[in-house]
Amino acid sequence: MADYIALYMFAVVCLLLMLGYPVAFTLAGTALAFATGGMLTGTFDPGFLAALPGRIFGTIGNTTLIAVPLFILMGVILEKSRVAEELLGSMAKAFGQLRGGLGISVVVVGMFLAASTGIVGATVVTMGLLSLPSMLSAGYKPSLAAGTICATGTLGQIIPPSIALVLLGDILSNAYQQAQLNMNVFNPRTVSVGDLFIGALLPGLALVALYIFYLLVYARLRPGAAPPDNSERASVREILGGLLPPLTLILLVLGSILAGAATPTEAAGIGAVGALLLAMAKRQMHARRLAQVLVQTMEVTCMVFMILIGAAVFSLVFRGFGGEELIHHFFLDLPGGTVGATLVVMAVIFALGFILDFIEITFVVVPIVGPILLGMGVDPIWLGIMIAINLQTSFLTPPFGFALFYLRGVAPQTLSTGAIYRGVIPFIIIQLIVMGVLWYWPALATWLPHLLKP
C-alpha cells in the first residue's frame, strides 16, 4: 500500500479540485499533509522539501515566465479597449453578404482574440457576449451559433502567442533537459517557447481553415441555418480600420519571434506596449480603465504563479513518495511501447481536462509524464502541440467541457444546453481529424521549427 501513496495523493487532489477548492492551496496543502503523514510514519524523506526554496527562486529568476504577465496585460487591454468588438463589426460587414459569413467573421475574430488572450474562459465569454446575440438575430441556427463560438473560444490553446503555450513550453523545456540528463546526455539539446509557437502555427491555421470550410459547406447545404446579412456593406476603409490594428500587433509579436529578432518574453513586451498604444490611439484607455486593466492583470498573474508554487510543492512530494518511478515502470510495462504510453497519456490528459484547467494540467501532469515520454524518444515540440489540441478538444466535449459551461453562463435561456452540445460535435470531429493527421504526420508540427532553427 505504501508504494502507491503518490497515486493516492494525486487522486485526493483531483477529488478536492472537483469539489471546488482553490487550485494552488489544494496542491500545496494536500502535498504537505501527505508529507507530514509520511514523515511521521517514516515513509517520506523531508530532504525533498529542502529543495522547495530553490524551486521558488528558480521560478522568480525564470525570464521565460515574465512573458506571462505581459501577454495577460496585452490580452486584457485589447479586451477592455473594444478592439474585438470593432473587429467583429468590420469582419461581419466584410463577409456578411456571404452565406455563413457572420460565422466566418466569428471564427476569424475568435482566432485574433485567442491569440491575444490565450485563456479559454475569457475568449468564450467575450465572443458569447459580442457575437451570440448578433448570430441569433441574423437567423442563424442556435446550435450552429453556439458551436462556432465554443470552438473558436478554445483556439487559445493552440494559436500563438498564447499563455497556454508559454507555460507548456517552459515545462516541456525543463522536462526535455531532465529526460536527456536521465539518459546521461550531459550536453542536452534545448526546446524553447518560441519553438512551440512556431510548431503551433500550421496546426492552428489548419484548424481555423477547417472551421471556415465546415461553415461554408453547412451554409450551402442548409441555407436557412446560416443566412446572409442583407445590410449595407462596409467600405474597404472601414474594414481595414477594424482589421489592420490588431492584425499588425499580432504579426509584429509573432514576426519578431519567427525572425529571431526577439525572444517570446521580449515579444510579449512589444505586444503589451503595442496594445496600450493602440488603446490610447482609440481613446479607450483613460485612467480608470487603465487601473482596471492593471488590477485584472495582477489577479490573473498572481493566480498563475500561486498555482506554479503549489505545483512545485506537489511535484516534490510526489517524487519523494516514488511516484515518478512508479509512473515510469507503468509506462515501460504497457503494451505498444512508446505508442501505447503516448496514447495512455493523451487519454488521461483528455479526461483530466473535464475537471482541471490547462494551468493545473500543465503544472501537475506534464512534469510527471513529460520526462518519461521524452526519454522514450517522443519529440518535445510534437508532444506539446498534441497536448494543446488534446486539451482544446477536452474543453469542448460534452457534458463537462469548460467552454460549454462558459457559454452557458452568458447565453440567453432561450438557447438550450442541448443545442450547445449538438453544435460543438462537428467541431470536435474536426479537431480529432487534425489530431489524427498530426499523429501520423508529425512534420505538421515539427517541420517549421526545424526549418527556422539556426
CA distance 8 to 35: 12
pLDDT for 1 beyond 60: no
pLDDT > 70 fraction of the chain, expressed in percent and rounded: 93
Chain-centre distance for alpha carbon 429: 19
Predicted pLDDT at 120:
63
Q: How confident is the model at residue 181 (pLDDT cuts 50, 70, 90)?
A: confident
Maximum average pLDDT range among 161-165, 263-267, 279-283, 341-345 = 341-345
- What's residue 268's pLDDT? 83
- Of 38-52, 120-134, 200-214, the poorest mean pLDDT is in 120-134
Query: In the prediction, which pLDDT does 61 show?
Result: 77
pLDDT, position 431: 92
Q: Is the pLDDT of residue 454 over 60?
A: no
CB 403 within 8 A of CB 396: yes
**pLDDT, tens digit (0-9, with 9 covering 90-100), for 25-34:** 888 888 899 9
Burial class of residue 19 (count of CB atoms within 10 Å of its CB; 0-12, 13-18, 19+): exposed
User: Sorting pLDDT into bands at 50, 70 and 90, what band is 419?
Assistant: confident
pLDDT > 90? residue 140: no
318 vs 305: CA distance, rounded Å: 20
DSSP 428-453: HHHHHHHHHHHHH-THHHHHHHHHH-
Query: Can you give the residue ranges of every domain in the chain?
Result: 2-452
Q: What confidence score (pLDDT) does residue 19 get?
A: 76
CB atoms < 10 A from the CB of 40, how many? 9
The percent of residues in the chain predicted with pLDDT above 90, rounded, is 7
pLDDT score for 231: 62
Which cell is 208 given?
A: 481555423
Render pLDDT for 291-344 as a digit per residue (tens, 0 to 9). 888 888 888 788 778 878 888 888 888 888 887 777 777 777 777 778 888 888
**What one-character-per-residue DSSP string does 252-320 give?**
HHHHHHHTTSS-HHHHHHHHHHHHHHHHHHTT---HHHHHHHHHHHHHHHHHHHHHHHHHHHHHHHHHH
